[in-house]
Amino acid sequence: MNPLLPKPATIVDIIRETGDVKTFRVVLDDPEEMAAWSHKPGQTAMVSVFGVGEAMFCLASSPTCRDWLEFSIRRAGKVTSALHQMEPEAKIGVRGPYGNHFPYEAMRGKNLLVIGGGIGLAPLRPLVNFILAPENRQHYGNIEVIYGARSYGDLCYKEEVFRVWPQAPGVSVFTTIDAPEEGWSGHVGFVPAYVEELKPSPENQFVVICGPPVMIRFTLKALGELGFEEKQIYTTLEMRMKCGIGKCGRCNVGARFVCRDGPVFSMAELKELPPEY
């Protein structure tokens, strides 16, 4: 088994989430490999565009979804631009899953607070969908989602955020956008401020948070003031990656490799690491 060799895969569907984010539904070409694929919420995979390059993306689909793998990708550089130009039936490569995952076992019996900004909801979404899967739902408490973006157009997973999740048992979803917009009657304001307003309780709660660094910084402050402890808050880090398997050295933060020992870290763990991310 060559860990640097991608598995051939095909894009079967592409969903436009926002002006620059698309969700790609991918199926591994070898049906046995597809059936054997198993990942945990929070894990990542390397996606190759042959001739262009490879990049690490979080798996945005829940492991309970067996039909395909989903990656939500923002167009930013050469690999993502190449992906954005592709159509269904296009061939890509996938290798993985890599990295650690959200501590979904420890989360059993607890409530979950999900805070996302923009495309930052992508790594958190598989955890929500995993918990909402019929076989898992009873093992978890309530889920509160606080999700914001610059504008309505920049909110991802609108179908889930506005329809599927609010209708699921024990789930409440609060959305916000940065500035007032015609047609938007929901909350207006930044995510950290919204969190302060909503005053979630730290009692029996895990928090998963992902979004732009500035959003995370101010939200952590707000959560601190609400009594949350660092060890109950989890986030995902991203770094420039090449091998994805902890050998090329590039993604290190201290002695940890984000590709292998991450991308999920608790705030308590991050405190122990040098601030180089």
Partner 1 sequence: MREMAGILQQEAARLLEEGVEVFIGYAAGSGQALARPFFATRPEEAANLVFNPFCVHNLVKYLLRYPDRKTAVVVKGCDGGAVNRLVEERHLDRAKITLVGIPCSGMLERERVLAELPPAAKVEAVEDRGSAYAVYTTRGEYLFEKKEHLMAKCLACVRNNPTGVDLLLGKEAMPVADPERDPLEGVRKIEALPAAEKAAFWDRVFGRCIRCYACREVCPACSCIECAFEQAVPGWQQGAMWVEKAKNLPDSYHYHLIRAFHVAGRCTSCAECERVCPVRVPLMLLNQKLAKEIEALFRGAPAGACGPLCAYSPEDPDQFS
Partner 2 sequence: MDSKLLRREKLLPFLDRLREGFLLVAPVEEDALLFYRPVESVAEIRLNPGRSVVPPKEWFFPQAESLYRYNTESGRLVLEETLAAAPAVLFGIHPCDLRSFAVLDAVFLQEPVDRYYALRRERTVIIGISCSAVCPECFCTAYGISPVEGTGADIHLSEVGAVYMVEVLTRRGKELVARCQEFFEDNVAGVAEAKEARKETLSGQFTVQVTVDGLPARLGHLFDHPYWEELSRRCLGCGICTYVCPTCHCFDITDVCRGFEGKRFRCWDACLFRDYTLHTSGHNPRHALYQRLRNRFFHKLKYNHDRYAIEGCVGCGRCVALCPVNIDIREVIATVRGLGE
Pairwise CA distance, residues 102 & 183, whole Å: 36
Angle subtended by helix axes 191-198 and 213-225, to nearest 10: 20
Q: Closest distance between partner 1 and the C-beta of residue 263, in Å? A: 24
Where do we find the tokens 């909801």? 121
Partner in contact with 86, chosen from partner 2, partner 1, none, beta carbon below 5 to 8 Å by kind: none
Token pair for 209 = 């948070």
Q: Closest distance between partner 1 and the C-beta of residue 220, in Å? A: 34
Among 21, 36, 10, which residue's Cα sits nearest to residue 96?
Answer: 36
Q: Closest distance between partner 2 and the C-beta of residue 175, in Å? A: 24
Angle at 265 between CA 114 and CA 69, to 5 degrees: 65
Partner in contact with 82, chosen from partner 2, partner 1, none, beta carbon below 5 to 8 Å by kind: partner 1
Which residue, 83 or 94, has its beta carbon nearer to partner 1? 83
3-state SS class at 66: coil
Pairwise CA distance, residues 112 & 189, whole Å: 22
249 binds partner 1 (CB under 8 A): no
Partner in contact with 5, chosen from partner 1, partner 2, none, beta carbon below 5 to 8 Å by kind: partner 2
What is the pattern of x (binds partner 1, CB under 8 A) and - over residues 49-88? --xxx-----------------------xx--xx------
Which amino acid is located at 267 in the chain? M
Residue ranges in contact with partner 2 by CB under 8 A = 1-6, 8, 29, 48, 50-54, 76-77, 80, 89, 91, 93, 238-240, 242-243, 245-250, 252-255, 274, 276-277
Q: Please, are residues 247 and 32 in contact by the beta-carbon 8 Å criterion?
A: no
List contacts with partner 1 (CB under 8 A): 51-53, 77-78, 81-82
